[in-house]
Structure formats: structure tokens, C-alpha cells
Amino acid sequence: MKEVTIVGGGLAGLSLGIALRRARVPVILHEAGQYPRHRVCGEFINGAGEETLTRLGITDLFSGVPLHEETRWFLGGERIYGGRLERPALGVSRRRLDLDLATRFQELGGQLHTGSRQKEEVREGCVWTAGRKMERSSRWIGLKVHVRKLTDQRGLEMHLGRHGYAGLAPVEDGRVNVCGLFPNRRYGGRGLELLWNCLAENGLEDLAGRLRGGDPDTGSFLGVSAFSFGLQAGSGGLLTLGDAESMIPPFTGNGMSMAFEAAEIAVDPLRRYAGGTVCWMEVLRDIRGSLRKRFRRRLFTARVLHPLLLTKSGRFLLAGAARSGLLPFRTLSRILR
């Protein structure tokens, strides 16, 4: 049986490796970092159903994680929407989840090489899941931190500011993940002070004060930049999955889900390749076509809605629709699922 090499040990790479090992495909996985580690991520799964997680063989890894059935949206300090999700979202930190996935992959006989940074290279049998394409400059900066003792937290929260937004999602051990997207400019401060300044300068002073009053875990603070949303540029013959293939704006809550769904799409074509029944070019065409079909509507909808969240007129329309009960939240949730 032919060997498959995966470069990148995030959600897409590890879950794909697990599913391939369950099919007895030999897999080598290279990851530049180490486990466990924090990631800038919304840390909840909204979209990928139990069927996807079952096919990947990882459903049990989510046993006991928080289930979120409610969501609340705020404009500045004003609540503009509250409702129940059609399907509960799973709250789990990337620090825990990545480690659990890596452990499962190795238990199944996968070869995992951490601290192994690979050069992007187009070759047969290689899947590139090493995250977003690095940009020389970026309009955005993403920041995250875990906060404990937020007693007023209930379900998922989205806080819209003047030019950015922040999402709150409870994860394990009584922690709440705070993840924000802001314009990339000079705010002043470092570490948590940078996050508080980003929130305050974008009109989210009340949220900044609320988080300060909790118990922020300074060791969980992390920031990223040099990224763009949408389809990621890459070598024409390279098979990419997860953020390496496309990045959806974080307000959708779809990033983690799309990583698992992309892995699910890739399993059968790669299994057939490993078994020698299809050539590599057929695998590329099959997976790319399936990715476009699965994610095209989601990416388009997110691209249209994202600017509305970041302009004064767009937020005014959103708030007006929400207050009058005309916001089609469930319809949008279905499209983005």
C-alpha cells in the first residue's frame, strides 16, 4: 500500500491521519510545533455533525465537552439578538483537542514528527495542511485568551465593535475562550494589555472591563497576523486542506468544522490512491471538486456578510433587523453550516 505524507498537525491534518490509519493506510505526519499548545481559534464546532466526526473516528474525543445551545449578539454594550442554535455547538480548547488527536493518531500507528518544519513541495502522496498562507502584510490581527470565573457567561456570545469583533465560547475546566478580530494598527500595549486596548478602541469597553474582572490566563494569550480570508494562494499541483486551502471569517464559527469536513472529503480518494486504484491526478481533481462544492456557498455568504459587521451602516442594518425580529439568523446558520 502506498504511503501518504501529511504536512501540518492541526485539525485537518490530524483527523485525516486518524481516518487513514483506521483504513490501514501508512501515514507520516510532520508538524512544525509541539503539543500541547494554544491556537488563535474560536474553539467551538458549529457545523460538522456527529456523522462527520464518526466517519473520522474521533467522536469519543468530545465526550464531556460543553454543549452550547444558545447564542447572544451584542452591538457595543447593547444586546441585539438572543436565540437557540438549531444544533448544539461543541466547546473545546485547541490545546486539549490537538493533543488528543495527536495521541489517537499515534495509538493507531501513525508516524508523528513534531518540530519538523517542511518546505512547500508539490509531490505525489503529499497533503499540505500546514495552516494559512503567510501574507507580507495583513489588514487584520487575531487575538485570543482564556478567562476563568466569568459567572455571567451563557452559551456563545458575539460582540460587534466599530471595526472589529470578539467571540466568547466556554470550553473545558470552567474557562471561556475569548477570540477577537481587529484592524491591524498600533493600539499600544503588549500581551493582555494589547487585547484590552483593541477592545476599548473598537467600542467594546464594557466587554474589556468584564474580562478584566474575571481571571485571565496570561499563559493562554496569543496573537496572529499576516493572513487573509477566502481561498488561499498555493502551488497549482499542491493538495491543500483546512486553512491552507481556504479561510472563512471567524464570525461564522465555521473554521473548525470546515477542517473536519475537508478531512472527511479527502479520506476516500486518498484511501483509493494508497490502494493503487486511482492515480494522484484523479485524487487532486476529486478532492478539489468536492471542496468547492461543499464550501462555495459558505465562503461566498461569509464574504458578503463580513463587511456588514465592520461598517457603521452595516451594523445599523444588522441591529435594526435584529431588534425588529427580521434577522434571518436560522436561515444564515443553515447556509453557513
Domains of the chain with CATH codes: 4-38+93-133+228-320+328-335 (3.50.50.60)
> Where do we find the cell 487585547?
195
pLDDT band of residue 335 (cuts 50, 70, 90) is low
Task: Give the single-character DSSP code of 126.
Answer: E
pLDDT digits (tens, 9 = 90+) for 134-181: 767 778 999 999 999 997 888 999 999 999 999 999 999 999 999 999
Residues 302 and 306: their CA atoms lie apart, in Å, by 6
Question: Which residue type is seen at 168?
Answer: L
Distance (Å, rounded) from C-alpha 160 to C-alpha 310? 8
Rounded Cα distance, 335 and 315, in Å: 20
What pLDDT sits at residue 154? Answer: 80
Stretch 42-53: mean pLDDT: 87
Which of 62-66, 252-256, 273-277, 317-321 is the most confident on average? 273-277
In this predicted model, what pLDDT tens digit does every residue of 212-268 receive, in sequence order? 999 999 999 999 998 888 888 666 789 999 999 999 999 888 899 999 999 999 999
Q: Give the C-alpha distances (Å, rounded to integers) separating 112 from 14, 17, 18, 132, 213.
A: 10, 10, 11, 21, 41
Residue with cell 454543549: 67
Spatial CA neighbour of 130 closest among 264, 31, 253: 31
Report the alpha-carbon distance of residue 329 to residue 337 in Å, rounded.
12
Coil/strand/helix, residue 216: strand
pLDDT average, residue stretch 312-325 = 81
Tell me the whole-structure pTM to 2 decimals: 0.94
pLDDT band per the 50, 70, 90 thresholds, residue 329:
low
The radius of gyration of the chain from alpha carbons, rounded to an integer in Å, stands at 20
Judged by phi (left if over 0) then psi (alpha if -120 to 50, else beta), residue 242 lies in left
pLDDT of residue 100 exceeding 80, the answer is yes
Three cell numbers at 325? 425580529
| Burial of residue 28 (number of CB atoms within 10 Å: 0-12, 13-18, 19+) | middle
The answer to whether 262 touches 33, Cβ cutoff 8 Å, is no
Helix (H, G, I), strand (E, B) or coil at 5: strand
Query: Quick check: 71 and 158 in contact, CB under 8 A?
Result: yes
